[in-house]
Structure formats: C-alpha cells, structure tokens
Chains A and B, each alone.
Chain A
Amino acid sequence: MIREFLRRVAALIKKEFITIWNDPKTKGIIIGMPLMQLLIFSNTSTMEVQNIDTVILDRSKSVESRELISRFEYSPRFRGFYYVDNEDDFKKYFDVQKVQIGLNIPNDFSRKVKSGKGAIVQVVSDGRQTNSAAIGAGYAGQIISGYSNDLMGEPDTGINITVRNWFNPNLKYKWYILTIIVSMLSLVTTLILTSLSIARERELGTFDQLIVSPLSSFEILLGKSIPPLCIAMTLTMIMTGIIIVFFKIPFVGSVALFLLSMTISLLAIVGVGLFISAISNTQQQAILSAMTFMMPAVLLSGFLSPVEDMPMCLQYLTYLDPVRFFMVLSRGIFLKGMGLGDVMANIIPLIIIATITLTLASRTFKRKLG
C-alpha cells in the first residue's frame, strides 16, 4: 500500500518537474526572471537620497551666505546647482521638477549672523516626492546646523546623543531591503507557480485525466505541492546566497532555523496558491485572484509601515497574512539571529495557515466536480 502510494506520488512529482525542465523557456524564466529582478532592484532600491539638484536664491550675497552655499557644493549628496535672483524663477525650477531642494537665503542673513541674533534659511522641498523630500530636507538641515555650530564654536553643554543601531551598525538600507526583496520575489514566483498549477491542468483537460485515475486527493495534493516548494526553496537559497556573497550582508542567525522557517513560510504560500488554483476555473481567474491576495498581503505585511501602527481591525487581519510572518522570520533570523523560541512563535501561525489552505485545496479538487 505504502509503496504504491509513494510510487504514484513520485510519478506526479516527476511529471511536474519534467514539464518545467523539458521547456528551456520555462526553465529560463522561472530562474532568470527573479535573479534579474534581484540584480536590478538591489541596485535601485535606496533610501540614501543622492544626486540632489538644488536651486539657490541668495539675496544676502555675503561672505557668510557664500560659505554656506559652498558647504552644499562640497557635500557628496548634492549634485546640480542653479542660481536664481527672484522668487518666480525659484518656483519655476520646482514646477518642472528640475530640482528637489531649494535654499532661500534672506537679505538680512549676514547681518543677523554677525549680530548673533540668529538667522533663518528657508529650505524648500518638493512634496510630490514626499519621502525623498523629507530626507533631502534633513540633509540640508544638517549642513546648515553644521555651519552654525562651526560659527558658534563647539557648545560646552547640552545633550550628547550617541546612536547605536543594533544588527545594522551603519544603518545600511540595503541590508533591510534586500531581505525583503528576496522574500518578495520568492513570494511572487511561488504564487504564480502554484496558483496556475491546477487551473492550468483544468483548462487543458489533463486534470480530468488525473481525477479518473486511482489517485486520491491527498496524493494529488502532495504531487502538486512538493515540486513548487522545491523550486521556490532552491530559488530562495540561490538569492540568499547572492545577497550574502555579493552584497556582503552578514548572516548572523542559525542556518537550520533559517531553512526550517523558509520551508514553512513557502509551504504556507504554496497552500494559498493551490487553494486559489483549486477554486479557479481558468488560469486567468487564478492569476488575478493570486494578485488580489498578494497586493493586500504585501501591503499589510509591515514592510511599508509597521503593523503596530495600523488600526486594530487591520492588525487582526495581519494574523492571517503569511507574508507578515515570512518577512519577520527572514529578516529576524538573517539579520538579528532570532532564537528557537521566537522563531517558533512566528512559525506556528504559518503552520496553521498552511494546514488550513492545503486542506481546503484538496477538498476543493473534488467539490469542483459539480
């Protein structure tokens, strides 16, 4: 009995692999697309705002104002400078998005600095890019207060703030975003792979052929979940290897725990994908339903803004979101070296999600028969 069971499941798994491996296009796209994206996005996803173009309206035209401007010119973050002599031109540069930051130095600047009364420099940023505007304005503020401190001399009292960034001492954005990009790419590939798998066979008629065979629902379920899980796991490992080797991101956690968590996270996603596939009649429905699941799942995973900051009802909803736990685990083990206890706390919800979705999927195989 067991041997026959294994034989049938093995046949199914082998068939899934052959369909992918026989076709060079499929093989290339499954492996190539995520890797290409990893390569591009790892270079482009940066919050370290650079190459800021600046428009300057210097009404003071004094030694002090020129000194301040030259500090901007020497900053590696600022790139192009445009000098104007009236407000209208100043605004024009912003309107057409030629600049991201503007400095408006009033004509009493030099006088106020000299008298020690305190001068004001206006830093204007382009709010159409809210994120980078705030960051760029922050840099400008730092340069200005740096100049101010130099003029005043080091203050002898005040609060001396020391910042320690645990797990990422230089607060490199890459470390953070790359673990997320890897999870995202695995998520997308796994979802497409699984959500189409049954829907595709149904559309082509081969699923009927499986149903009329002696295969049980459970055997079909195994045959349908193991191959995508293996592919997704391999892909995730390759991408993780790449970010460790090429981007020099330190892996501080336990490899065993990482493998375990990734397997279970991906299994939960396989479950969601197969469930979507089982309830869909066509591949179009399957892919579009997968998107309808993925968009909110990613948005609510805490990657854009922290889960604790969401309204309570949405916070509860995130407990159903495998992506949330997936990201906590990958980042937590990778960068923070999370221990067994904390890993378990995040794995258990994933196991529950996987169990429910896989059970529903295997039940739906047959229920769909009408």
Chain B
Amino acid sequence: MRGQTQYIYPVEADNLEKRYGSFYAVKNNTFKIKKGEIFGLLGPNGAGKSTSFKMMCGLAKPTSGTARIMGIDIIKHPAKARSNLGYMAQKFSLYGSLTVRQNLNFFALVYGISILKRKAKVDEIIEVFGLKEYEKCPAEELPLGLKQRLSMAAALIHNPPVLFLDEPTSGVDVLTRRDFWNHITSLAKKGVTILVTTHFMDEAEFCDRISLFYKGQTIAVGTPKELKQKAGANDMETAFINLIKESEVDK
C-alpha cells in the first residue's frame, strides 16, 4: 500500500553516461520529469543532448546508468518500457511509399492495438490531425509540415503516457511551428509527459523546465524563468550564453 502513495516520475534518467574511450559524450546525466510536464533538452550541436535523448529511448546503449519510463527500466525491459513511449525522430522516418493510412495502421498494429479497435483509432487520429484529405497519399509526397503532423500522429497512435520529440520543428515554417507547439502543450495538459530536444531558443520558452547541455554535461536545470534569473538575462539566448561562460569559469 505504501508503494501507491509514493510518487512515480514518468521519466527518469539515472546517472546516464556515454563514454568513447576516455572521452565523455555524456557525463553524469540525472533528471526526473513530472507527469504532464514539458521537459526540454537544450544545447548546441555536439553537446550530448542528442546522445542523451537516444539513450533515454533505447536507441543507444549507455556506458553506465539507466533510464526509466513509467518506472520501467529501459535496459532491462525494453519492449515493456517502449510500449509506453511515443517517439518522433528529427528526420522524417515513416515509410515513404506507404500511404498516410497504411503508415498509421502499421504503427497501430506494432503498438499492439487490437484489430477490432484499430480502425476506430486510426480514423480518430486522422481526424484529430486533419489528415483526412491526404489519407490515401503516399507519405513521401506530403509537404514537410504535413509529414511532421503525420509523424506526430504515428507517435501518438497508442495513447502513450510519455512522448519523446527529437528536434520536432527543424525545417518547418513559423506558422506550422506555432501550430505544433499548441498541440504539444494541449497534450501536456491532458497529462502526457513530454521530453523534447531543440536548438531554437524561442521554443525553450514553451517548456516547463529546461536542462542546459554543454560539453556532455548538464550545466543548469530549471524553469525558463529561473534560468533567466540565474543568468541575469532577459531572453533565453543571452541566458544560455551567460550560463555557458559561467560553467567555463567554474572549471
């Protein structure tokens, strides 16, 4: 009975480390994300945010440490942990020659939605993401914005409690980006826990909390407001630069 009262974080990173020889790509990475929170991984290219992200969803093996999704260890029980996870890659990575509907059908089956419920579920998600008129179109022929929408739809087909997004808005226009973030925030309100990587500083403002990555290490964690205060800056960009400078001085 005590277990039930204890709060479980939907996403936990526990001392994740990735080492190549003596070089640390990611060092000592620990964080916990609360239910319904949007957690951002922020940092320049090569800072280790993408490696961390990959280790979190099991696409890369950590040298030490582990991650838990809904309390399930991703290394020990990968299949079980992943069934709670929706994943959207940075690059469009659905099947180009399959149509919109075929793609969604495929992922519905892979995520274990039974055949009886599948049609209703796919219909629903096509409706929600406004893909109705494109459903027979091969995915590779969609414009970029719609491709992103389809990727998101595929990631959400099994109603995952946790959603991982890797640079979801790279390459799309400003309007689509807006649209996209509206969607993400409304999902979070419904209780979906979201981990997102980005290099757009303005997007960082949409996150509830941010982890700043630099040279394989987290140099600061907090809400956007806290981080700006800590760095004494008015916008994220300056905050970010100041925080990096500080960390350099500390060394």
Contacts and interface: CB of A to CB of B under 8 A. Distances in A.
A touches B in complex, CB < 8 A = yes
B109 A213 contact: no
Contact of B97 (A11, A23, A211): A23
A11 B109 contact: yes
B60 A15 contact: no
Contact of B110 (A11, A23, A204, A208): A11
B206 interface: no
Nearest to B99: A22
A240 interface: no
Given A8-B112, A11-B110, A369 B61 contact: yes
A44 interface: no
A23 B99 CA distance: 11
B93 A209 contact: yes
A121 to B, nearest CB: 67
Interface stretch (B35-43, B75-83, B170-178): B75-83
Most chain B CB atoms below 10 A, which of A14, A15, A205: A15
Contacts of A169: none
Contacts of B80: 214
A206 B59 CA distance: 12
Nearest to A370: B60
A8 B110 contact: yes
Nearest to B74: A212
A152 B106 CA distance: 82
Interface in B94-139: 94-99, 102, 105-107, 109-112, 114-115, 138
A7 B79 contact: no
B106 A208 contact: no
Interface residues of B, number: 35
A213 B82 contact: yes
Contacts of A211: 58-59
B188 interface: no
Interface string A1-31: 0001001101110110011001100000000
A216 interface: yes
A69 B25 CA distance: 84
B57 A212 contact: yes
Contact of A208 (B79, B93, B114): B93
B89 A205 contact: yes
A302 to B, nearest CB: 40
A22 to B, nearest CB: 5
A186 to B, nearest CB: 24
A212 B82 CA distance: 6
A252 interface: no
A209 B94 contact: yes
6 contacts: A22-B138, A23-B97, A210-B110, A212-B59, A214-B82, A369-B58
Interface of A: 4, 7-8, 10-12, 14-15, 18-19, 22-23, 204-206, 208-216, 369-370
Interface of B: 54, 57-61, 79-80, 82-83, 85, 87, 89, 91-99, 102, 105-107, 109-112, 114-115, 138, 154, 164
